[in-house]
Amino acid sequence: MVSVLGGGAFGTALAISLAQKSPVILWARAPEDMAQNRENKARLPGCELPEAITVTGDLALAIKDDILLVAVPLQSLRGFLAGHADAFTGKTIVACCKGIELSTGAGPATVIAETIPSATSAILTGPSFAADIARGLPTALTLACAEDAAGARLQQALTTANLRIYRTTDTAGAELGGALKNVVAIACGAAMGAGLGESARAALMTRGFAEMQRFAAHRHADPATLSGLSGFGDLTLTCTSQQSRNYRLGLALGSGSDFDASTTVEGAATARAMHEVAVKNALEMPITAAVTGLLDGSLDVKSAMASLLNRPLKEE
């Protein structure tokens, strides 16, 4: 059986998807409302929880299963795993989160490997909005696991009628694609929010993709992974849809409107983490630098765009 740890939008959607096949335990820090109303009103309203889902706040019960999908934000992943390290020993842990740690520059697979070395670590990533998965709309994701046999087992276990899963052993590529596209989505939202137009967005997506490839090459990821669902696929979705929280944060920055600070926006911390790695390793990441400036308030959108346009001319 599979358990999902993390009662936010994505964890709930994955539990709903898996409940088509077998009973699922969904662990949440505050399960009461979900358990009582059979709906995650706070994060995924309008999606009824099927009977096959047991909602619990008892982590020991959830961790009994062998396959554990962990859907907490990336910046919380290390603390969450380390806090229950004994219980996670020897398990198969699938990180369902996207980002790079501010404190270390590590992605989710690395965080699992460092925190629970006895675990089999994997990542589930790619273009999917939680609401789409929960409604049973067709979705394709990437499952990355360095051990191919374990990856194949997970691919079978997590595929459902509407959720098609491809697999790869390139965990570095998969974790970077999902992390870095959020930063580009913030940039695209900001450009659209400031009224700079769709041509500007296309330029940011394309040159942002070049930054993703550069960063991934630095981490020895397979370039083909970046061109797949977890990279190009998710970049396309997140940079073009108002369903994306990263894109919506960008829209708010660009238009000068308010944004609810309690929203999970992985790209904000990831932009800072990437910028630090880029500066330290002399990687050229001007869009990431511009997003970091927008987030810390040292740049506005028009001057950020001007700084990108005024860089020395170069070959594509």
Ligand X SMILES: NC(=O)C1=CN([C@@H]2O[C@H](COP(=O)(O)OP(=O)(O)OC[C@H]3O[C@@H](n4cnc5c(N)ncnc54)[C@H](O)[C@@H]3O)[C@@H](O)[C@H]2O)C=CC1
Ligand Y SMILES: O=C(CO)COP(=O)(O)O
Contact residues: ligand X, CB under 6 A = 6-11, 28-29, 43, 71-74, 76, 79-80, 96-99, 128-130, 264, 266
* Amino acid at site 162: N
Q: Cα–Cα distance between 57 and 66 in angstroms, integer?
A: 18
Go through the chain and tell me how many residues it has: 316
Among 245, 251, 272, 291, interactor with ligand Y by CB under 6 A: 245
Nearest approach, Cβ of residue 149 and ligand Y (Å): 27
Q: Which of residues 184-223 bind ligand Y (CB under 6 A)?
A: 185
Alpha-carbon span 288 to 184, nearest angstrom? 7
Active site residue 280: no
Kindly state the tokens that stand for 49. Answer: 């929880």
Amino acid in the structure at residue 67: I
Q: Is 200 annotated as a binding residue?
A: no
Q: Which is nearer to ligand X, 78 or 194 (CB)?
A: 78
126 is in an annotated binding site: yes
Using an 8 Å Cβ cutoff, are 230 and 173 in contact?
yes
270 binds ligand Y (CB under 6 A): no
Annotated binding-site residue? 9 = yes
If contact means CB under 5 to 8 A according to the sort of partner, which of ligand X, ligand Y, none does residue 121 touch? none
Q: What number of CA atoms fall less than 13 Å from residue 102's CA on the CB side?
A: 10
For ligand Y, which residue of 43, 78, 91, 98 counts as binding (CB under 6 A)?
98
Instruction: Show the site string, 127-166: x = touches ligand Y by CB under 6 A, - = not.
Output: xxx-------------------------------------
Query: Is 254 known as a binding-site position?
Result: no
Give me the phi and psi of 229, to 5 degrees please.
-55, -45
User: Nearest Cα to 69, choosing from 2, 19, 156?
Assistant: 2
- The stretch near ligand Y (CB under 6 A) out of 122-130, 164-172, 251-259, 296-304 is 122-130
Exposure class string for 52-81: b at 16+ Cβ within 10 A, else e: ebbbbeebeebbebebbbbbbbbbebbebb
Judge whether 244 is annotated as a binding position: yes
**Does position 115 bind ligand Y by CB under 6 A?**
no
Angle between helices 198-218 and 286-296 (to 10 degrees): 110
Among 246, 270, 288, 292, binds ligand Y (CB under 6 A): 246
Nearest distance in Å: CB 64, ligand X: 18
Residue 96 touches which of ligand X, ligand Y, none (Cβ within 5-8 Å per kind)? ligand X
> Does 57 appear as a known binding residue?
no
Residue 43 touches ligand Y, criterion: CB under 6 A: no
Catalytic residue among 21, 41, 91, 181: 181
118: buried, middle or exposed (CB in 10 Å: 19+, 13-18, 0-12)?
exposed
DSSP 60-75: HHHTTSSEEEE-S-HH
Whether 29 has a binding-site annotation, put simply, is yes
Q: Does 74 bind ligand Y (CB under 6 A)?
A: no
Reading the block at residue 252, the tokens are: 């708010």
- Among all residues, which ones are annotated catalytic? 181
User: Residues annotated in the binding site for substrate, as ranges?
Assistant: 98, 245-246
Residues of the shown chain interacting with ligand Y in the complex, contacts defined by CB under 6 A:
98, 127-129, 182, 185, 234, 237-238, 244-246, 266
